[in-house]
Structure 1
Amino acid sequence: MQDLKSVTQIEVQVSHVDAFRHVNNARIMEYLEMGRWDIMNLRGRREEYVRKRLAVPVASMQVNFRMPARLGQLLDIVTTLQSVKANSFVLKQLVQCRQSKQVVAEATVTSVIFDAAKGVVVPALEIIEALVGLPQAEMSEVLA
């Protein structure tokens, strides 16, 4: 599969740190969400999703927390399209320290694109087209 990837850069702020002086797991989940929105906007299509009333709900998510992130650390949220199924797509996400490349958390996220105007899930080929802006004629490279 063609490597479709985004990297979201975050510096851990004071407001991100809890009483134990590390980033709480709930905040890590927010970082992961930011990464998912960034890959959805790779081709500048976020406004199109809003205009077309397309939602991107998480159907399932497996998160493994590996080590704490701390105040001032620079983190990269690496989000990669892993696979496409009939009506869903799977993203692999890593939260890692920019300098050491140590993994703070990793996630596998299955999502769908839901057309709120029609009340239906958009099929896989349309998901990829919406995700990366490729016409269906070029889909074979992405789906290979």
Structure 2
Amino acid sequence: MRVGLGFDVHRFIKGRPLVLGGVEIPSDVGLDGHSDADVLLHAVMDALLGAAALGDIGDHFPDTDEQFRGVSSVVLLRRVIQLIGERGYRVGNVDVMILAEFPKISPYKHRMIELLAHELSVRIEDVSIKATTMEKMGFIGRREGIAVEAIVLLVDRVN
């Protein structure tokens, strides 16, 4: 078994879709980034890569590479899952914490869980997504962006 921890943060920006956990959320702001800036999937990818000692998403999908501009983070996640498999691992479970004042996560959480379970080839019961506010403190509390922490368990493919 191997455990990985991931963290990511993106600021809000006008004129972009808000994508979180592979789900587009209606909003007048999105997240700033080179890809679709899906902060949730970025944190999960970093956790996966860390658990397998494969670096981080910047190593594999640098923001200096134009092929990744605007790309769906689901596409990037699929490549990370492929790398994990090549190392002989599969996902056991994933636990995610979203830190955000906005948007309200609960209406979209089940779709995010379903998407992650499907992409990670695990049961819905193996994916946890939680959210908390920052009680109006700091950049998150001022609604300037979103942060996400993720932890994953990798197990040998033979289990």
TM superposition score category, shorter chain reference: 0.3 to 0.5
Higher relative contact order (CA 8 A, sep 6+): 2
What is the TM-score of this pair, normalised by structure 1?
0.34
